[in-house]
Amino acid sequence: MKQSSRFKTRLLWLLPFLLWGSSWACFSRITLEPVVSLKINPEEHQPVALLPVQPAMGQPGSGSTLYPFIRGSLEKKGYLVVEEAAVLLVLDELDLTPQGLISDRDARVKLGERLKAKLLMIGTLPLYRVQKSRLGSEAVETRVSDSFGELLLPAYFYGSSEIRLILRLFETKKGDLVWKSEGVIRASSEAAENYDRKLAERLLESLPPVFPMAAK
């Protein structure tokens, strides 16, 4: 009974610190790869077809918020974006996937012709790993009467996230890559659904606006 009472006392004493710790544990760090700078004049290459961001392998819900975020960012920069429904329809008709288009130049040209788009933007998630934070317990050696034993105490295990996003922009006349931005965000998992958008925002900073005033 004494051991149980001590456990409850320690639990009540530790819980405020555990809950407080979970609130300050949100952090993130972004690492960017060298950018392939834009090689064309975007004003002369409109509109752009933004392809859906395919989920990472084994993570069916990953990247679900990226498409509307990237689309909105492009529009703020002055890019004319082809309607999503039109893109999905032609992808289905031609039996194409965003991942397959990355390595198929001819397919990129064909898709551009069908959509009357001069640019294609393809986003991929090669890595999307999220470990949730959780409350648990861990064994701590403690003295009970005249002997030592193990007591399970509450413990807070911090989560982690690691997301890699690659954004590629192709012109459709020859299917060439004209811009690329890639990076990784490593973060706590307290708001993991926001981290991919935070990374996308950083990657898109290197994409020039169509008109200088569009950036303001």
Domain CATH number, residue 58: 3.40.50.10610
DSSP assigned state of 55: P
In a domain, 139, yes or no: no
Give the pLDDT of residue 145: 66
Pick the closest to residue 68 from 55, 86, 81 (CA basis): 81
Do the Cβ atoms of 157 and 49 come closer than 8 Å? no
- For residue 41, give the DSSP letter: -
DSSP for 150-166 reads EEEEEEEE--EEEEEEE
For residue 86, the SS3 value is helix
**Tokens standing for residue 13:** 């004493």
Query: Quick one: tokens of 20?
Result: 């407080």
> What pLDDT sits at residue 216?
47
* Residue 21, C-beta contacts closer than 8 angstroms, at least 6 positions apart: 156
Q: What is the pLDDT of residues 49-99, one digit of tens each?
A: 999 998 888 887 788 889 999 999 999 999 999 999 999 999 999 999 999
Q: What is the Cα–Cα distance from 126 to 17, expressed in whole angstroms? A: 36
Tell whether 187 is covered by a domain: yes
What is the domain range of residue 20?
2-132+158-215
Write out pLDDT tens, residues 19-35.
444 444 567 899 999 99
Quick one: pLDDT at residue 193?
A: 67
Residue 190 included in any domain: yes
Q: In this model, does residue 202 exceed pLDDT 60?
A: yes
The answer to whether residue 196 sits within a structural domain is yes
The answer to whether position 150 is within a domain reads no
Would you say residue 80 lies in a domain?
A: yes
**CA torsion sign, 107 to 108 to 112 to 115?**
positive
Average pLDDT in the 102-123 region? 98
**How many domains does one find in the chain?**
1
Q: Say if 20 falls within a structural domain.
A: yes
148 found inside a domain = no
**Cα separation, 212 vs 100, whole angstroms:** 33
- Three-state DSSP at 189 gives coil
